[in-house]
Amino acid sequence: MELFTNDLLLKTATADDAEEVARMWEFEKGSISTEAALEAIDYMQNNHRKNREGYIYHLCFAVFERNGNKIIGWCGLDGMPAEDGRERMEIFYMIDKDYRGRGYATQCAGKLLEYAFETAKISKVFGGCFKDNISSFKVMAKSEMINYKTRENGDPKFYIDSEIYFKLKAFKENISGG
């Protein structure tokens, strides 16, 4: 599966991407072996097979610049049951530090929300970040997610549901004349 933004390609990793996955799987900690990368790719693809309309188990995309061949981050939607057994759709995005500050995380979040509501027919998406992660806070705010709660430790929690998403989309189309 491939999704495109203005500047990015969000792509399901395949065996052809094994070297890049090895380099970037845990990019803030270091690389992993090609064998471990192939196992990670298989794990992601198996998770993708569990997705269906109205339910996403786990959807992980490698993030590439549109004309590039290097993975510059990861993003996706995670619907795996939480420790408390509840199912909640969570958005995630991680961009390599050398590519931050270019609006890439915001583009990822926007495309993921579009996919969640328009294609997968998900009803609500949640997100959160550490209280000191101002950039991630801004990404969710720019993506029109609502800051509905602050945890005891100060970490903000966000959400957006399909009703809000489609109302905002219609409003934007109305004011842009499209």
d(CA 15, CA 41): 7
Residue 68, helix vs strand vs coil: coil
Region 2-176: CATH code: 3.40.630.30
Q: Average pLDDT for residues 165-176, to the nearest whole number?
A: 87
Express each pLDDT in 61-105 by its tens digit.
999 999 888 999 999 999 866 666 666 889 999 999 999 999 999
Nearest one of 133, 157, 154, 132 to 145, comparing CA atoms: 157
pTM of the predicted model as reported, rounded to 2 decimal places: 0.90
Residue with token string 């997100």? 127
In the chain, what are the domain boundaries? 2-176
CA-CA-CA-CA dihedral for 45, 49, 54, 58, to nearest 10: -30
Cα distance between residue 100 and residue 53, in whole Å: 32
Residues present in the chain in total: 178
173 pLDDT above the threshold of 90 = no
pLDDT tens per residue across span 5-59: 999 999 999 999 999 898 888 776 777 888 889 999 999 999 999 998 888 989 9
